[in-house]
Structure 1
Amino acid sequence: MVSSRLHPFRPRLFDALRGYDRQRLVADIGAGLTVGVVALPLAMAFAIASGVKPEQGIVTAIVAGFLISALGGSSVQVGGPAGA
């Protein structure tokens, strides 16, 4: 018989923050800046191609990035404009 109980949801962010130190913060800031240089213009291009303002693409990329980071299931998950 299959159990109908769902596995409890726990964002991986909680596990990733355990043991987080200054060295990882500096590395993550560098990685974030690098991704931003590529992802934000790409989000603007997708917005223009979709017929909306580039600003809407930037806002969408930022909001989606935070949601994917906070609720994502893997520390190596690809999210954002290139994730599709």
Structure 2
Amino acid sequence: MSSGLHLSGLVDAAVRGDEVIKVRLGLWRMDVGPTPPSGLLLELSAGADVERWPIDLAQSRSLVDLSGRLLAGLDSEATRAA
């Protein structure tokens, strides 16, 4: 990644120790233009293979809302099945 890209410390997501795919989340910012792009950084790894995906700020905000709604739907399905 370019030298203008700044990453926050990545945080592990719900580590149990038996995950095949590890997920970490952080923030990124790039120093370009009058309004530097920024957003969430999603890191997925399986063994030694690591992929980093910078997600822009608008999409990051949308993911927060969409994730909450989707997970609420899963919770509702689990309650109905019980």
Same fold (TM over 0.5): no
Identify the structure with the greater helix proportion: 1
TM-score (norm 1): 0.33
Identify the structure with the greater strand proportion: 2
